[in-house]
Structure 1
Amino acid sequence: MSGSTVIPIAILLIAFTSVVAIVTSYFKLQRHRADAAALAEYRELAAQVTAGQQAIDTRLTELGDRVAAVEKLLRSVG
């Protein structure tokens, strides 16, 4: 190879490498965005589950109090 063909080949190689790096970075960014969106959905779901568990806990406490009142009533009758 003569010196006049090495420079264009080197320039093309650098350009090709740059394009590959840009495309790879773009798809990594898209995957990261999708992961972030999924994580946000999971966080929202976790918040909903936590609120539901708190509501169930409150309801179970109320039911426990009612059962205790019924037991007390049954003991006083019997």
Structure 2
Amino acid sequence: MNGSTIIPITIILIAFASVVAIVVSYFKLQRHRADAAALAEYRKLAEQVAAGQQAMNERLTELTDRVKAVEKLLQSVG
């Protein structure tokens, strides 16, 4: 190989490496976007679960108060 063939081969290798780096970066970006979307869905689901637990806790407190009232009524009758 002489000096006249090394330069074009080097340029082609640099261009190929650049294309590979761009393609790899693109797919990493797409994976990151997919992860971000999934994380947003998980966050929304967690908020819904927290709201559901709060509602369930309020309902349970209400039922506990009713049971106490019924127990009091039964003790006063018995």
Query: What is the root-mean-square deviation in Å for CA atoms of aligned residues?
Result: 0.2
TM-score, length-scaled by structure 2: 0.99
Partner of 1:40: 40
Q: Count residues in correspondence.
A: 78
Cα deviation for residue 73 of structure 1 reads: 0.3
What is the CA–CA distance in structure 2 between the aligned matches of 1:12 and 1:75, rounded to whole Å? Answer: 93
Which runs of 5 or more structure 2 residues have no equivalent in the other structure?
none
Partner of 2:63: 63
For residues 21-60 of structure 1, give each alpha carbon's deviation from its aligned partner in whole angstroms, at most 9, with x where no partner exists.
Answer: 0000000000000000000000000000000000000000
What is the CA–CA distance in structure 2 between the aligned matches of 1:6 and 1:53, rounded to whole Å? Answer: 70
Which letter does structure 2 place at the counterpart of 1:26?
A: Y
What is the CA–CA distance in structure 1 between the aligned matches of 2:22 and 2:49, rounded to whole Å? Answer: 40
What is the CA–CA distance in structure 2 between the aligned matches of 1:55 and 1:15, rounded to whole Å? Answer: 60
Which runs of 5 or more structure 1 residues have no equivalent in the other structure?
none
Which letter does structure 2 place at the counterpart of 1:35?
A: D
